[in-house]
Each structure stands twice: as structure tokens, then as C-alpha cells.
Amino acid sequence: MLFFDWNIHNNLWGVIMKSTGIVRGLDKMGRIVLPMEIRKLLHLIDDKSYVEFYTEADSVILKKYVPACIFCDSADDTIEYCGMKICKNCLSKMNAMLTSQEEATGK
């Protein structure tokens, strides 16, 4: 199963999730172990990382929880856009960059 979403890094619609082919069973308490390959891929550090649960139709989606700005790692004064956190400081810098580019190109 593929999921499409807006990729903020390259401003393209793209595949952000794909099947890993890994199947795990739940234990009696409903727990699963995240496969090591996925933990390494997402840089999930045992005992220090968090994941968020989402549901979509018959799917459960786990997403690495990143409470801080995706650009500067600040957790202060963030807003969420397309599922990612951006601090207002970085947003201001991006806005200033966009404004100067528009002025330079006359748009």
C-alpha cells in the first residue's frame, strides 16, 4: 500500500509511506515490537523516542513523533503544517527569503 502526501522538503507530491513487507503479531496485551530495521530507518532510539498513532480506514499508521521544528530543532513556538512542526522563527526567515526572492525577480 502506498500513501501520497506533500513533501515539504522538495515541494512535490510523493510517496512518503510504503509497505515494508514486515508482518508482526500482537501479543496477549496487544503489544508489538517495532522491527529493528524500521527503528534504524526512522532513527528511533529505544526509551527516548515516541511514535504517534493514526488511523485511516482499516489501517493503523505509526509516525515518529517530532515535537520540535524540523529545521532548527527548537520546540518553542511551533505550528504544524502538513503534519510537520515549524517554529515561527524559521517561518519568519522563510517568509523573508521568499519576499526577497520575489522582489529580486519582480514578482
Give contact residues for Zn ion (rule: CB under 5 A): 69, 71-72, 74, 87, 90
Least distance CB 44 / Zn ion (angstroms): 22
Is 4 or 65 the residue whose CB approaches Zn ion more closely? 65
Coil/strand/helix, residue 31: coil
| Ramachandran angles phi, psi of 30, nearest 5° | 85, 15
Query: Quick one: which of 14, 66, 19, 59 has its CA closest to 38?
Result: 19
Is 6 or 71 the residue whose CB approaches Zn ion more closely? 71
Least distance CB 75 / Zn ion (angstroms): 9
Q: How many residues does the chain have?
A: 107
Least distance CB 45 / Zn ion (angstroms): 21
